[in-house]
Amino acid sequence: MEGSLRGKVWRSMVEKRREGRLHFTLIDPDKTSPSEAERIARIAREAGSDFILVGGSLGVSPEATDSVVEAAKRQGMPTIIFPGALNNVSRRADAALFLTIINSDDPYYHGIAQVQGAMIVLYHGLEPIPTCYVIVGYGGTAGFMIRARPIPYDKPELVAAHALACSMMGSKIVYLEAGSGAPKPVPPEAIEMSRNMIAMAGLETLIIVGGGVRSEETARMLARSGADGLVTGTIAEESPELLASIIRAFKES
Ligand code: 1GP
């Protein structure tokens, strides 16, 4: 059994959060070769990103996931599986986001996927990080494939109610997802209301946000509305310079 079940990655997330906000670089093994993944991991590390997420919604093979995880780890980045499906769960990673997909209409994602995934995570010796996934607005390929009922952009109170439920159900992370390439990110009001409701309940769940972040201005807005972490995917492939300035803007706001 490789890896560790002792909570190292989660602890480092909490410790890093005490020092500042967190940035996650998402690499999709279907779109990225291992050499490209290593290049992105190097750019991400140099730009101040904290963790690599590996996963995708379509066309991701176990072999491609293994190679991308190995390549990212060569750059010394803690690497976490963000599974679009069970075939994304690589034993080479350090941890896996163990997902509850709270607004999927598909019963498969409300128990069956988790029961199947739990054994694989255990056998691979991966650290499970209980994470609740909330699809907002556009939703992208992820939203379509998991049959999400995306929460409309103009219903921040509905996003907050989902985030609160996730937090009360014991998730360590609430992941608010607008979808890769979303025309608009998760609205700041939704993050702020989620943050406030979770605090009112006396809980300490981390809120991470992703999808459609392409500017420093957006990163700043998301930070100010109370996001603990930001996930970016597309931007690392397009412009390392922009990635660095987005990370800086998010962490320094
Ligand atoms: C992570 O799906 C996102 O939550 C990644 O989105 O590719 O738009 O950065 P982008």
CA of 230 to the centre of ligand 1 (A): 9
CA of 234 to the centre of ligand 1 (A): 6
What average pLDDT does this structure show over 154-166? 98
> Of ligand 1's atoms, which has the minimum distance to the CA of residue 209?
4
Q: What is the pLDDT of residue 220?
A: 98
Ligand 1 pocket at CB < 6 A:
26, 177, 179-182, 210-213, 231-235
What average pLDDT does this structure show over 156-175? 98
CA dihedral of residues 87, 122, 211, 231 (deg, nearest 10): -130
Residue 14 — φ and ψ, nearest 5°?
Answer: -65, -45
> Of ligand 1's atoms, which has the minimum distance to the CA of residue 177?
4
Q: Cα–Cα distance between 253 and 251 in angstroms, integer?
A: 6
Q: Does 3.20.20.390 match the CATH number of domain 8-252?
A: yes
pLDDT, one tens digit per residue, over 31-75 is 999 999 999 999 999 999 999 999 999 999 999 999 999 999 999
Confidence check: pLDDT of 3 > 90: no
> Of ligand 1's atoms, which has the minimum distance to the CA of residue 142?
2
Mutate to test the pocket of ligand 1, among 213, 239, 247 (most ligand atoms within 8 A of CB): 213
Q: What is the pLDDT of residue 146?
A: 95
The three-class DSSP label of residue 169 is coil
Q: What is the pLDDT of residue 5?
A: 54
CA of 235 to the centre of ligand 1 (A): 9
Where do the domains of the chain lie? 8-252
Q: What is the DSSP letter of 183?
A: S
CA of 1 to the centre of ligand 1 (A): 31
Q: Which tokens hold the place of 141? A: 């390929």
In the chain the first and final C-alpha atoms are separated, in Å, by 41
pLDDT, one tens digit per residue, over 196-249 is 999 999 999 999 999 999 999 999 999 999 999 999 999 988 898 999 999 999
The three-class DSSP label of residue 68 is helix
Confidence check: pLDDT of 2 > 50: no
CA of 183 to the centre of ligand 1 (A): 11
CA of 25 to the centre of ligand 1 (A): 9
Q: Cα–Cα distance between 39 and 159 in angstroms, integer?
A: 35
CA of 216 to the centre of ligand 1 (A): 15
Mutate to test the pocket of ligand 1, among 232, 242, 243, 250 (most ligand atoms within 8 A of CB): 232
Cα–Cα nearest to 133, from 208, 37, 49: 208
pLDDT, one tens digit per residue, over 104-148 is 999 999 999 999 999 999 999 999 999 999 999 999 999 999 999
